[in-house]
Structure 1
Amino acid sequence: MYRFGFFCSMSDNSLSTNRTMNLNNLNYENVEKKVKQNSKELIDLLEYSKSKNYPIFRLGNSFVPFISHKLFDMAWLDKLAPIFDETKERLKDFDIRITIHPGQYTVLNSPKENVIENSLRELEMFFWLFDRLGIDENGTVLIHGGGAYGDKETALERLIETIKKESWLKQRLALENDERVYTAEEILGVCKTTEIPMVFDIYHHSLNLSEFNPKDILKTWGNRRPKVHLSSKGDGKFGNHADYIEAKDFFELEKMFQNDTKNIDIMVEAKKKELAIQRLRDDIVH
Structure 2
Amino acid sequence: MPSKRKHSALAQVEENVNVAEIASVLLSPVPPTLSENPQETSVERKISKRAKNRRAAAVAVADDTTVSPDTGLDSPLTELELDTPILTKKKRRAKAKDIPEAAADGDVVIASKRKRRTKAEGFSSAPEIDSEALASPRKRRTKANEPVVYDIPPVETRETDFKGRLGYACLNTLLRASKPESVFCSRTCRIDTILKHGFTAGRDGGEGMGEGMDYVKELGRKNAANLMEIIEWNEKNHIRFFRLSSEMFPFSSHAKYGYSLKYAREELKAAGDLARKYGHRLTTHPGQFTQLGSPKDDVVEASIRELDYHCEMMRYMELGKDSVIILHMGGVYGSKEDTIARFRGVYTTRLTDEMRARLVLENDEICYSADDLLPVCEELGIPIVLDYHHNWINPSTLPIPELISRIKVIWSRKGIKPKQHLSDPRPGAETVMEKRAHADRCKALPDDLPIDMDLMIEAKDKEQAVFQLYRVYRLAPVAHENLRPEKPPKPFERSRSRTTLEPGHGEDIGGMVSSYCESPDPGADSCGSQR
Give SS of 2:447's match. helix
Cα drift, residue 148 of structure 1? 0.7
CA–CA distance in 1 between the matches of 2:370 and 2:165? 22
Could you give the per-residue CA deviations for residues 73-94 of structure 1, whole angstroms, max 9, x where no partner exists? 53x5333333334334434432
Q: Deviations over 1:120-175 (max 9, x none)?
A: 11101111111111111111011101111111111122222221223523210010
The AA in structure 2 aligned to 1:60 is S
Q: Does 1:225 align with 2:396?
A: no
Does the CA contact (< 8 Å) of 2:188 and 2:219 recur in 1? Answer: yes
Contact residue 3 and residue 262 of structure 1 kept, 8 A: no
Tell me the alpha carbon deviations over residues 205-256 of structure 1, each in whole angstroms, 9 at most, x when there is no partner: 0000112321111111121100000000026734110000021xx2xx332x
Matches of 2:266 and 2:418 in 1, distance apart?
Answer: 33
Aligned position for 2:184: 16
Q: Distance in 2 between matches of 1:89 and 1:153?
A: 43
For residues 386 and 325 of structure 2, the distance between their equivalents in structure 1, rounded to whole angstroms, comes to 14
1:18, 1:38 within 8 Å by CA — same for their partners in 2? yes
Distance change in 2, residues 1:72/1:114 (3 Å): same
Shift of 1:181: 0.2
Amino acid at match of 1:183: S
Q: Which amino acid aligns with 1:29?
A: D
Determine if the alignment matches structure 1 residue 28 to structure 2 residue 213.
yes
- Where do 5+ consecutive residues of structure 2 fail to align? 1-162, 178-182, 195-211, 476-531
CA deviation digits over 1:33-85, x for unaligned, max 9? Answer: 212321222111111221222221100011111110023353x5333333334
Change (3 A) 1:156 1:78: closer
Structure 1 residues 28 and 94, CA gap change in structure 2 (3 angstroms) = farther
Alignment partner, residue 121 of structure 1: 305
Task: Identify which range, 84-93 or 232-241, moves more after superposition.
Answer: 84-93
Give the alignment of 1:44-193 within 5 angstroms: 44-74=229-259, 77-165=261-349, 166=351, 168=353, 169-193=355-379
Q: TM-score, normalised by structure 1?
A: 0.90
Q: Distance in 1 between matches of 2:330 and 2:261?
A: 30
What's the CA shift for 1:28? 2.8
Bigger proportion of residues as strand: 1
C-alpha displacement of 1:176? 0.2
AA of the residue aligned to 2:238: N
Aligned to 2:464: 275
RMSD of aligned C-alpha atoms? 1.9
| Whole-angstrom CA distance in 1 between matches of 2:410 and 2:352 | 16
Aligned to 2:447: 254
Query: Which residue matches 1:266?
Result: 455
SS at match of 2:375: helix
Instruction: Name whichever of 200-209 and 232-241 sits farther off.
Output: 232-241
- With the length of structure 2 as denominator, give the TM-score of the two structures: 0.50
Q: How many residues align?
A: 277
Q: Is the 8 A contact 1:102 1:141 kept in 2?
A: yes
Q: Distance in 2 between matches of 1:218 and 1:79?
A: 38
| Residue matched to 2:127 | none
Contact 1:170 1:195 in 2 (8 A): no
Checking the alignment, whether the CA contact within 8 Å between 1:58 and 1:101 is kept in structure 2 is yes
Residue equivalent to 2:14: none
Q: Percent identity?
A: 29
Counterpart of 2:189, as a letter, is M
**Secondary structure of 2:242's aligned partner:** strand
Instruction: State the partner residue of 1:243.
Output: 440
Distance 2:217 2:312 in 1: 18
CA separation in 2, counterparts of 1:73 and 1:116?
Answer: 16
Which is helix-richer, 1 or 2?
A: 1
- Asked if the contact 2:261–2:312 (Cα under 8 Å) also holds between the matched residues in 1, the reply is no
User: 2:261 touches 2:313 (CA, 8 Å); kept in 1?
Assistant: no
C-alpha displacement of 1:262: 2.4
Kindly state the Cα deviation for residue 5 of structure 1 after the two structures are TM-superposed: 0.4
Q: 1:73 to 1:101 in 2, by over 3 A?
A: closer
Deviation digits for residues 13-46 of structure 1 (CA, Å, limit 9, x no counterpart)? 3332211111222323222321232122211111
The answer as to whether partners of 1:160 and 1:193 remain within 8 angstroms in 2 is no
Mind listing any 5+ residue stretches in structure 1 that lack a counterpart?
none
Answer with 31-40 or 151-160: which moved more.
31-40
Cα pair 2:188 2:250 within 8 Å, conserved: yes
Please state how far the C-alpha of 1:186 moved relative to its aligned partner. Answer: 1.3
Deviation, 1:285, is 4.4
Secondary structure in structure 2 of the residue aligned to 1:220 = helix
Considering Cα pairs closer than 8 Å and 6+ residues apart, tell me whether 1 or 2 has the greater RCO.
1
| Bigger CA radius of gyration | 2
Give the deviation of 1:98 after TM superposition: 0.5
Cα 1:254–1:16, aligned 2, differ >3 Å: closer, same or farther? farther
Q: Which amino acid aligns with 2:447?
A: E
Mean Cα displacement is larger for which, 15-24 or 101-110? 15-24
Q: Check 1:158–1:115 CA distance in 2 against 1; reply closer, same or farther (3 A cut).
A: same
Residue-by-residue CA offset, 1:79-116 (whole Å, 9 max, x unaligned): 33333343344344321010000001001111111111
Measure how far apart 1:283 and its partner are.
2.3
Distance 1:186 1:128 in 2: 30
SS of alignment partner, residue 29 of structure 1: helix
1:279 Cα deviation (Å)? 0.9
1:243 maps to amino acid: D
Q: What residue is the counterpart of 2:522 in the other structure? A: none
